[in-house]
Structure 1
Amino acid sequence: MDLYLKRFWEEGSGNQLVEWSGAQISLDNANVFTLLAKEYDVQGDEAVQEIFKDRNFGEAYAYVTQLSKTIISENDDLPENIKSMFLTMQQKPAWVDDELIQMGCNLCMRSGTNALISLRDYSLMSGYDYAYLNKALIYTGALKKGPAKRITDTLDFWIHVTRNNALEINALGYQYIARTRMMHSFSRLMIKEKYADWDHEKWGEPINFGDMVATNIGFSLFYLHGLHKLGMHISEKEELGVFHLWKYVGHLLGIPEKHLPNNKKEATELFYLWTDGQVSADEDSVMLAQALENEAFASNIFKKAYQKNFLKYLHSCYVRFLIDEETCNRLHISKIRMYYLFPRFRKFRNQILQKIIGMSGKNYKRAVTMGDIFQTKISQEYLKADS
């Protein structure tokens, strides 16, 4: 394992994950991710080749959107691979527990702005420390498109797949997943066709199953751990619900469900195995991290310089609070005196508020409703600014 990533697990945020989750980390099954790095969504790729036949990108996107709004049957006059992919997505596995998924959605909503901080400043920023994981982003032009675009798209996706009933067939979340699956396959095929310098030996296949599992864990394990660090009280059902929600999202995206975790212990152990095949931050990682840290300047949400400066400062404080110092330094995150003041105030506020209000009955439902409103409003502001 990379020396810096080894220290991450022994002394940094990884050690905190192990303590919090009760995981028993070992490299005994490290070959699992060696194999998954060579595997990818073949069904999605075959469907996308038919989707883009005689269609430009805009037409293909509209076509997939229309298909995702429609119940597909065996008798439909569709190309076989497209039909096969959508018929598979429409087959709800027997293991899916709708009540558990709703509990996961409830937490995603009631965590309000805490969720967005955890996802942006912990999960997303942490991901930039894994050099090989980021290569697909670089090759598909993440730096050129800018951080505001990725924040907008990720937040828009997350909002729509974490609402109640969003994953029902033809619901909005399901539609977003179908389009995202198309984008994954389109990007993979484009990289393989246009870039002969893609290093299959080091990086595996573009957007391979191993990296997709790690990204899925970012939306579940890291999201939950971030909320924990910010003082959020999370019930056992909510916690298991988040993992169940993302297991089903992963399934709809084409990831074999046997590789997706059911709880924080499994997720931490899986993530440890995955990091054994990674190396820590390189120049591309630093550029991505710096772009995200300076996202406030690229975004049009705030117009005035002092607003942009303060927003950058605030996010840098949360990054420093949520991610261990060595990782932050590798990613060249700004060094800030007393960075912990705002995060600690938020943590204290969360703890007090939950004790005073309580998290049951009407108060719980109100927290879910208000969190949904706040998150949706912020997402709409990003979409408006990006348009």
Structure 2
Amino acid sequence: MDSNIKRFWEDGSGSQLVQWSGAKLELTDFKGVDPRTNEYDILGDQAVKEIFNGRNFEEAYALITKLAASKISEGDDLPDSVKKMFLTMQQKPSWLDDDLLKAGCNLCMRSGTNALISLRDYSLMSGYDYAYLNKALIFTGALKKGPAKRITDTLDFWVQVTRHKALEINAIGYQYTARTRVIHSFSRLMIQERHANWDKENWGEPINYWDMVATNIGFSLFYLHGLHQLGLRISEKEELGVFHLWKYVGYLLGIPEDYLPIDKKQATEMFYLWTAGQVSADQDSVQLAQALENEAIASNIFKKAYQKKFVKYLHICYVRFLLDEQTCNRLGISKITMYYVFPWFRKLRNVFWQKITDMNAKNYQRAVYLGDVFQRKISMEYLKADGTKR
């Protein structure tokens, strides 16, 4: 195991994850490559080859958008791989629990702006510390597109798949997962075809199942742990609901269901095994982290220079509050004094508000409603600044 990653688990943010989750780890060296790094969504790739056959990108994307919004049946005149992919997605797994799914969605919404801080400044930023994971981003031009584009697309996806009944067949969240699955396969095929310098021995296949599981864990485990650090009180049902939600999202994206964690203990142990095949931040990692740190400066959301600088400062505060110092230093995160002031104020406010608020059914639903409103508004501001129409 990479020495920096080992430190992450021994006395960095990883040790906090272990303590919080109750995971049982053996901090030792691993040998060999996990076979899941060479496994990927073959069915999705086959479907993409058919969808793009004789079509340019715009035509192919329009087709997949239409298919994702339509009920597919055995008798439809479609290529076998395309039909099979959609029929598989339309088949709800036996383990799917609508009540748990709703509980997970409720937390995603009621966590409001705390959710967006946890996802951006903890989950996304910490992911840049794993050099091999970032390679698909680099080869598909993430640096050229800029951080605002990735923030916009990720936030839009997250909002759309975490609402009530969003993942019902042909509902908006389901459509987003179908389109994302196709983009994953398109990107993988593009890398395989155009980039002979892809280091398969170390990095595995582009956008492989093991890396997809790690990304899924970022949306569940790291998201929840970030909320915990920000002082949110989370029920056991909500917590399990978030893992259930992201297990289903992962299933729709083509990940084998038995690869996906069901609780924080399993997710932490699984993430630990995944990190054993990674190396810590390289120059690409630092460039990605620096781009994210400066996202507010480059973004069109804020017009005034002082607004851009203040928002950048706030995000640095939260990154340094949520991530351990060693990881921040590896990623080149700016050093600032008293970074803990704003995060601690938010944490104290969250704790105080939960103490004085009687979380009965009415207040709970109000919190869910208001969180949904705030999140949608912020997402729409990003889409507007990006010039994206929905």
Could you tell me the TM-score, scaled by structure 1's length?
0.99
- Aligned partner of 1:238 in structure 2 is 238
Instruction: Structure 2 unaligned segments of length 5 or more: list them.
Output: none
Q: CA deviation at 1:28?
A: 9.0
- Aligned partner of 1:274 in structure 2 is 274
- Aligned partner of 2:62 in structure 1 is 62
- Aligned partner of 1:171 in structure 2 is 171
- Give yes or no for contact 1:33–1:273 (8 Å, CA) kept in 2: no
Over 3 Å counting, the alpha-carbon distance change for 1:278 and 1:310 in structure 2 is same
Q: CA deviation at 1:26?
A: 3.3
**Code of the aligned partner of 1:155:** L
d(CA) in 1 for partners of 2:326 and 2:266? 25
2:179 pairs with 1:184 = no
Q: CA deviation at 1:359?
A: 2.4
Over 3 Å counting, the alpha-carbon distance change for 1:72 and 1:172 in structure 2 is same
Kindly report which structure 2 residues correspond to 1:285-324, keeping only aligned pairs within 5 A, or say none. 285-324=285-324
Q: CA deviation at 1:31?
A: 7.8
- Aligned partner of 2:338 in structure 1 is 338
Cα deviation digits, residues 175-230 of structure 1 (max 9, x gap): 00000000000000000000000000010000000000000000000000000000
d(CA) in 2 for partners of 1:261 and 1:168? 21
d(CA) in 2 for partners of 1:139 and 1:102? 37
Aligned length: 387
Kindly report which structure 2 residues correspond to 1:18-37, keeping only aligned pairs within 5 A, or say none. 18-26=18-26, 34-37=34-37
d(CA) in 1 for partners of 2:225 and 2:382? 25
d(CA) in 2 for partners of 1:352 and 1:40? 46
Q: CA deviation at 1:360?
A: 2.6
- Give yes or no for contact 2:6–2:27 (8 Å, CA) kept in 1: no
Q: CA deviation at 1:136?
A: 0.1
d(CA) in 2 for partners of 1:359 and 1:90? 36
d(CA) in 2 for partners of 1:220 and 1:179? 21
Cα deviation digits, residues 75-128 of structure 1 (max 9, x gap): 110011000000000000000001100000000000000000000000000000
- Give yes or no for contact 1:51–1:82 (8 Å, CA) kept in 2: yes
Q: CA deviation at 1:356?
A: 1.1
**Code of the aligned partner of 2:26:** S
- Aligned partner of 1:93 in structure 2 is 93
Cα deviation digits, residues 144-199 of structure 1 (max 9, x gap): 00000000000000000000000000000000000000000000000000000000
Instruction: Structure 1 unaligned segments of length 5 or more: list them.
Output: none
Q: CA deviation at 1:55?
A: 1.0
**Code of the aligned partner of 1:80:** D
- Give yes or no for contact 2:74–2:83 (8 Å, CA) kept in 1: yes
**Code of the aligned partner of 1:250:** G
Could you tell me the TM-score, scaled by structure 2's length?
0.98
- Give yes or no for contact 1:224–1:239 (8 Å, CA) kept in 2: yes
- Aligned partner of 2:148 in structure 1 is 148
Percentage of matched positions with identical amino acids: 74
- Give yes or no for contact 1:105–1:245 (8 Å, CA) kept in 2: yes
2:248 pairs with 1:248 = yes
- Aligned partner of 1:363 in structure 2 is 363
- Aligned partner of 1:379 in structure 2 is 379
d(CA) in 1 for partners of 2:317 and 2:337? 9
d(CA) in 2 for partners of 1:358 and 1:187? 48
Partner of 1:37, secondary structure, is helix
d(CA) in 2 for partners of 1:318 and 1:193? 40
Moved over 6 A (4+): 27-33
Between 22-31 and 372-381, report the one with greater CA deviation.
Answer: 22-31
Kindly report which structure 2 residues correspond to 1:206-245, keeping only aligned pairs within 5 A, or say none. 206-245=206-245
Q: CA deviation at 1:30?
A: 6.3
d(CA) in 2 for partners of 1:320 and 1:237? 30
**Code of the aligned partner of 2:315:** H
Q: CA deviation at 1:56?
A: 1.0
Q: CA RMSD in A?
A: 1.2
d(CA) in 1 for partners of 2:289 and 2:61? 29
Q: CA deviation at 1:297?
A: 1.1
Q: CA deviation at 1:32?
A: 9.6
d(CA) in 1 for partners of 2:50 and 2:271? 34
- Aligned partner of 2:137 in structure 1 is 137
d(CA) in 1 for partners of 2:32 and 2:94? 25
Partner of 1:334, secondary structure, is coil
Partner of 1:281, secondary structure, is coil
Cα deviation digits, residues 294-349 of structure 1 (max 9, x gap): 00011100011000000000000000000000000000001010100000000000
- Give yes or no for contact 1:219–1:246 (8 Å, CA) kept in 2: yes
d(CA) in 1 for partners of 2:62 and 2:200? 32
**Code of the aligned partner of 1:310:** F
Over 3 Å counting, the alpha-carbon distance change for 1:327 and 1:29 in structure 2 is closer
Cα deviation digits, residues 351-384 of structure 1 (max 9, x gap): 0111111323100000000000000000000000
**Code of the aligned partner of 2:108:** C
- Aligned partner of 1:203 in structure 2 is 203
2:284 pairs with 1:284 = yes
Between 179-188 and 355-364, report the one with greater CA deviation.
Answer: 355-364
d(CA) in 1 for partners of 2:284 and 2:136? 11
Q: CA deviation at 1:59?
A: 1.1
d(CA) in 1 for partners of 2:29 and 2:21? 19
